[in-house]
Each structure stands twice: as structure tokens, then as C-alpha cells.
A and B are shown apart, each in its own frame.
Chain A
Amino acid sequence: DTAVSQTPKYLVTQMGNDKSIKCEQNLGHDTMYWYKQDSKKFLKIMFSYNNKELIINETVPNRFSPKSPDKAHLNLHINSLELGDSAVYFCASSQAPGGVMGNTIYFGEGSWLTVV
């Protein structure tokens, strides 16, 4: 069973469209994240939720809006997509906020977003 699953895996869309990426974890974790990996493979955190509450919100355009309907799900909605949004988006989860006492973050397989 996939621990952290995200859909879709590949998404090609036109500029200006609105799209969502869904994420679900079956690990019983309290904390979930969205990371963005750019074309140079640099990983940067975007958002983090703990028990459905937003705890990290990096400097991300407000076109990006996370939504956590319950502890097991954290979806990412992107409005008015731009060319620069093309990247791989990774969902992740951990038992507690990342790094605490060696707590491990588990990653999903990534969603490859291409904006044309």
C-alpha cells in the first residue's frame, strides 16, 4: 500500500487555468506538507498543516491555496497558472512537525506539473 499518494502524477495545462493536486496519507500522521522541486532539483517547503491547522506558510503566491479537509488529506489548489509554476510538487507527511526528535518525513511520488 502506498503510504503517501498524490494525484495526478502528470499534469499538462495551459496558462491561466486553475488546477488541483490531491494528497492522501494512510500512515495516521498528524502533519502534512507540500514541497516544490524546481527544474534545478531544489526542494522548498510551501505549506505545512498539523491536525488540519496551517503551521507553515512560506512566501508563496496567494494563487496557491492548500486545503486540509481532515488529517489524512492535504490538497493543493492553484489558480491562474503561470509558466513559472512548472515544477514537481511533492506531498509529504510525518507524525509530528518535521525534524522534531528525528521524526521522519515520508514523501509521495510527486506530481509533475507543466504549464504551457
Chain B
Amino acid sequence: AQSVSQHNHHVILSEAASLELGCNYSYGGTVNLFWYVQYPGQHLQLLLKYFSGDPLVKGIKGFEAEFIKSKFSFNLRKPSVQWSDTAEYFCAAYGNNRLAFGKGNQVVVIP
């Protein structure tokens, strides 16, 4: 079964700082990877996804993620965060006919 690990559960940073969230998945054949964002009190929304092609994926709101197969990683980045990026971020990976989520990163951006 696919498993996903995310590190540094709580991240606090100032506006304009750069953000990088780590995500590692367990090997399970063909990999489909996702990042979802959950703003306070809201549902999950897709930020970006990777299933083939260019390993550097651009998503919404200035986010990008890089798939590095040799490291089993799919890290999320944003060069300059805004207060509105305060949210919970979830990495997810497809395997064994189900989408497995990591435990999330709680990101707080201070104005």
C-alpha cells in the first residue's frame, strides 16, 4: 500500500519568505502525486498534480512541485508567500487503488 510522509508539521513564516514543504512516498509502481490545500474551515482543493512528463509541475497560486524519482519525493515550493497562504497542505499519492494522504503541514504566514 502507498504511504506518504510529510515533515515539519507546523511551519511559521513571514510574508514574502520562501516556502518548501517536503513529501516522501513509498515505492509502489507507477506513481501519481498530488498536493491539496485546505484553508481554515474549508474543504480540500487541488493545488497541483503529477502523473507523467515534466517533473517540475506548476500549480495554482504560484505553487510548484518537483518530482524526484530517485528520492521518492514530491516537494512543494512557493518563492514568496502571502498571508492568504495560511492553510493546511496535504501531499497525496495513489497506490493500491486508493489515494493516501500525508498528515499535512500546517502553515501560518505572519503579515
Interface of A with B (CB < 8 Å)?
40-45, 48, 55-56, 90, 97-110
Q: How far is the CA of A97 from the CA of B99 in the complex (A)?
A: 9
Nearest CB to that of A43 among chain B residues? B101
From residue A40, how far is it (CB to closest CB) to chain B in Å? 7
Contact at B106–A97, with CB atoms within 8 Å?
A: no
Closest 8 CB pairs of A and B: A99-B94, A102-B51, A98-B99, A43-B101, A107-B44, A99-B32, A109-B43, A107-B43
Contact at A102–B99, with CB atoms within 8 Å?
A: no
Q: What's the count of A-B pairs with C-beta under 8 Å? A: 64
From residue A39, how far is it (CB to closest CB) to chain B in Å? 12
Contact at B94–A41, with CB atoms within 8 Å?
A: no
Q: Mark B72-111, 1 if CB is under 8 A from A, else 0.
A: 0000000000000000101011110111110110100000
Given contacts A41-B88, A41-B106, A99-B93, contact A56 B98 (CB under 8 A): yes
- Candidates A97, A104, A109; contact of B97 at CB < 8 Å: A97
Q: How far is the CA of A103 from the CA of B99 in the complex (A)?
A: 10
Contact at A105–B42, with CB atoms within 8 Å?
A: no
Most chain A CB within a 10 A radius of its CB, from B36, B97, B100: B97
Contact at B51–A101, with CB atoms within 8 Å?
A: yes
Say if the beta carbon of B18 comes within 8 Å of chain A: no
Q: How far is the CA of A56 from the CA of B104 in the complex (A)?
A: 23
Contact at A44–B101, with CB atoms within 8 Å?
A: yes
Q: How far is the CA of A109 from the CA of B103 in the complex (A)?
A: 19
Contact at B103–A40, with CB atoms within 8 Å?
A: yes
A105 — which chain B residues lie within 8 A by C-beta? 34, 46, 99
Q: In residues 15-73 of chain B, which contact A (Cβ within 8 Å)?
A: 32, 34, 36, 38, 42-46, 49-52
